[in-house]
Amino acid sequence: MNEGEKKVVNKMMAIYCRANHKHVTGLCEECTVLKNYAMKRLENCPFGEKKPTCGSCTVHCYKNDMRLKIKEVMRFSGP
């Protein structure tokens, strides 16, 4: 379920952590927590494979603090 999105989140987290937290291999503790949180949200998404982008979704499943953190990662790492 949502395997493509999981890969994208993993890559974005790695780019962000490497650049901002200077982790060369793996993720720092903070980024690991955020990545695990994002993965759990993807796994439990009620829309499954037909999931819209988070920005256009009617269900906001992220807690406010985690939403702000993942937005920061996406802005930094995204296209």
b/e per residue 55-68 (b: at least 16 CB within 10 A): eeeeeeebeeeeee
The residue-averaged pLDDT of 4-16 equals: 94
Domain regions of the chain by residue span: 3-77
- What is the Cα–Cα distance from 13 to 6, expressed in whole angstroms? 11
Model-level pTM? 0.89
Q: Is the pLDDT of residue 40 over 80?
A: yes
pLDDT at residue 24, rounded to an integer: 82
Which pLDDT tens digit goes with each residue over 52-66?
887 788 888 899 999
Residue 1 pLDDT > 70, yes or no?
no
Q: For residue 10, give Cα distances in angstroms to 16, 69, 74.
A: 10, 14, 11
* Statement: residue 22 has pLDDT above 80: yes
